[in-house]
Amino acid sequence: MVHTPTLQDLASARQAFEASDPRDLFYRAATELVTLALEGKSSLNVAEALTVLLQTWNRMFYQYRKFDSQHFAALERRIDQHRSGLANLRWRSIETFHQEDESEVERVFKAFEEVLGPVGAAKCLHLLAPRFFPLWDRAIAEAYDLPLRQIGRNAKRYCQFMRIVKEQVQRIGGEQAIGRNPLKAIDEYNYCKYTKGWI
């Protein structure tokens, strides 16, 4: 069983994250750009807004893959294909995640994973529904005993991860106790503890 962080653990992780990783700026910028794009208040479309984060937080994925017009078009197609379903999830909390959601989550995750890999898919979906889809990376998935497999074979593992994170959020006391987006807070803890070893 993965450790459920305490409020103090989350506060310590936040401090370590802010002191050691300047990329939070890109997260905040991408979050705002995605919101504006979804509301039609930006000259950027949603796929363009998402790439702000993908090119910084998921740059390892692009070491051996091109970020070209074909890749970009494939991402745009996934967004268009799942637009209505994602719009329904955008304002939901992970605390509302239940078994009936799993087939839809698996379908959406698999579609985005085929274009972005399992780490990029989670990041992209998180930006589209920031309180519903948690973030992970390879080290975090490994720590949660959900080691990532080849692209296209991780949707069920992501649902398992969502169930675990939902339970963590509930044990901590939800957004009211944490005082900010619980998924971002837990990701900072996971990243600092499992990916970087800062805490």
Overall pTM > 0.85 = yes
Q: How confident is the model at residue 12 (pLDDT cuts 50, 70, 90)?
A: very high
pLDDT tens sequence across 120-173: 999 999 999 999 999 999 999 999 999 999 999 999 999 999 999 999 999 999
Helix (H, G, I), strand (E, B) or coil at 142: helix
Angle (CA) 93 98 100, round 5°: 125
- Give per-residue pLDDT as tens, 89-129: 999 999 999 999 999 999 999 999 999 999 999 999 999 99
Residue 60 to residue 153: CA distance in whole angstroms = 19
List of long-range contacts for 80-89, beta carbons under 8 Å, 24+ apart? 81/111, 82/108, 82/111, 82/112, 86/125, 86/128, 86/129, 89/128, 89/129, 89/132, 89/133
